[in-house]
Chains A and B, each alone.
Chain A
Amino acid sequence: MGRHRVPVRRNRVAIEREKDTDLRTHSIGATIVQTVAGLFVVISGTYDMSVQTAEAIPAFARKYALNCTTCHTAPPQLNTFGERFLENGYQLPGTEDGGITGKKNLGDLSLDDFAHYTGVRLRGNVLRAHNFKQQNPPGAESGTVQNKSELGFPEVFSLFTAGTLSKDMGFFAEMESNLEEGATGIERAFITFNNVGGENIANIRIGKLDPSAVFSFSTLRQQLEFIGESTNSSTDAVQRAGLFPLATAAKFYGLRDRSGTVISPYAPSLYNAVAETGVEVRGRPFGDWFMYQVGVLNGSNEGFGDSNKGKDFYGAIRLDYARSANFSASLSGFAYLGNSNATVFDGTRNVDANWNRYGAAAHLRYKMLDLHGMYTLDRITHAPTAALSNFDTTASGVTVALDAYVTNRTLLSLRYDNMDAGGDLTQRTSQTFAGMQIKHYLRSNVALYARHDLNLRRAEEGNAAARNLRHAVFVGIDISY
């Protein structure tokens, strides 16, 4: 059931609370890495033998009595059938089963029925180890930039409920508790009206929604989980790079939201935001090959209500091909036009700017392979030139990811990320990372993973520490039920 999210911090500069532990020296760290990794090998070995075919299945899977693989290549990544199910407002493609499957009068609902609408996901890195070129350079908060291993499971617990209220009317809500940040909240919540005006003519979403949900590259469906950045709480300087699809990121240093808070260059935003509040319409009026999508939002980082002068708009088209053996492909492009959706500091005060994004993405699936990638280009316009004298108004990002089942239970994922950062010229640091992950499914809903992220640029010393990170290792657990 694939809704994945991102730590709650996404739209604010993250303030990492560092715990003072004694596990700080590298050698102890290495020992822990080995011990935990060893333990995982043992666990996965035993389980492989004892667990036969038991398939446990979250929300929709339960409702339809199906395995996860019916809709997902690898959760949360959808296969083509899963995509069309999502688009149809959580109804089987080609049908309007919202009024039929699992529908009961409220008084007849039992706890079992409730399970048809809810799912939970618990995940996190049991072990995290970042490795830096220079430890705790001057200016960095102590303990943040240090070669050390941390024990952290669980990091994120999500509860989601979704389904249909009646024919062509669906709902989705997700609560997330980020245990690392101690924050709990509604991550996304919207209702859908489907097949308005005829089959697939118009599907409407209203609420706190993720605009890229139906794009060829969906922010929330990546195999390599979001690893949050770390930012100095007083200076806003990025101390440690975030590890996640950089094409979705804000990419500007020193850009602020309308309340004046600095937006982290690592926050997924605009079209690729985890969620923004608004209304969207999309459909495939000419058949399966073509999709349109248009939406209007309060604007970036505008939650409930709107302090904006104007709304943000987006439009996207997507071309699909799904008529060859075991193969499907899609190509999409979007334009996101901001309207006073950000501010820039001009030396004395924050002045309005328009923050726009253009992007293109492709997605190919063939048997065991799932390849998807996106390029985005961001532009800041309409700000007074004085405010932009030390500010690069253009930024771009690329993410390419490949997921492949090397065996029936083992998923290999590779990812390339690049961000040509913009914004404040004195701070901005571009980034290039390669990530690799092996995920092993003990059962269809319980997976262990080990991951390595590597800085492809030469790591630098000093406090522009985003590029101080050389590589990082994560070992974690992902459970959905």
Chain B
Amino acid sequence: MKRFFEKLVEGALLISGSITSITILLIVIFLFKEASGLFNSPVIEDGYVLAFNKDNPVKKLSSYQIKQIFDGAITNWDEVGGKEEPIEVVRLSDLTKYYTEAELGANFENIPAKASELTAKHPGIILFLPNSYIAKNFDGTLLKHETLRPGDFFGGKEWYPTASPSPQYGLLPLLLGTLWVSLGAILLSLPFGIAVAVYLAEISTMRVRNFLKPVIELLAGIPSVVYGFFGLVVIVPFLQKTFQLPVGETGLAGSIVLAIMALPTIITVAEDAMRNVPRAMKEASLALGATQWQTIYRVVIPYAKSGITSAAVLGIGRAIGETMAVLMVTGNAAVIPHTLLEPVRTIPATIAAELGEASAGGGHYQALFALGCILFIITMIISISVEFISSKKYSK
């Protein structure tokens, strides 16, 4: 009986122990499940169709091409692989330019017939209409089942989920924005973090250390939204004034806030690494007449290299995944950034800002989950590389 009870408890403990693994598995399943529909979602808004003249050799258009056509950036069919023929963009509201209201019918009951007629008559037409206005015997090519291609997402240069008729789900500006802001953050905080770690591990007295450690712990404990708020009311106006910017919400603001937030991680991990340097190694150096500083940069830092690398990588990981603070201070413009003094938008900030508006199961919703997948994959790569780096210590 007692034996049985012990086994039972052990089983319960094992189950608890496996929860984290199960959670990771579930995260993978659910994130990818929600995102998986993305490449089955239509390139044009739900419930709408695009139609061409039936003699037009173009039968497919990518999401980005559609956007450019409707923006007027592409004006001739030969730019998208068709004949030399000017493109004629027609939306539902434009029908009144071709037909009188009487012709379209009091209740627009004639629209399907007229739309069909118009498409047949104009060789360069591209017509954007709700599904319901397409007649059964429509005289033209319908672009109806065209779906988003992986290239549109992974290679897409624009994130514009509300664009009509073709929402843009381009990953690049967000990914580059994320990396850009995180890189800025790590460049700011790494020298600081290592310096503080060196000070704590090798220079400071026990008393100073006992004072600094809680300070760093506190810095780590401040919630990210408070950092975001502080950034918003202090750092953003400060940057705006200093650099004479139109808006202070910039990548640099994000980098500064993230740098402060990543600091505790970097300090703690790097300090641990330096503390693990064998005493014998330091004594050997000092016994040869090296000063403490020479010992630090010639022996301690090289020896703790892998730990310091882990610290940097973990710091980057924190920066990449950080959501609220970045959302509040970076201005969230979804354009590919060129300098740190422009607004940028990161992947986590995009998810947080837009998921509330995206209708469940729609293309936008799926695209946001796809962003979640990307973020998850990046952080897994980071975790695994840290695991790898720290297992690769000096072999003796």
Partners in one complex: no
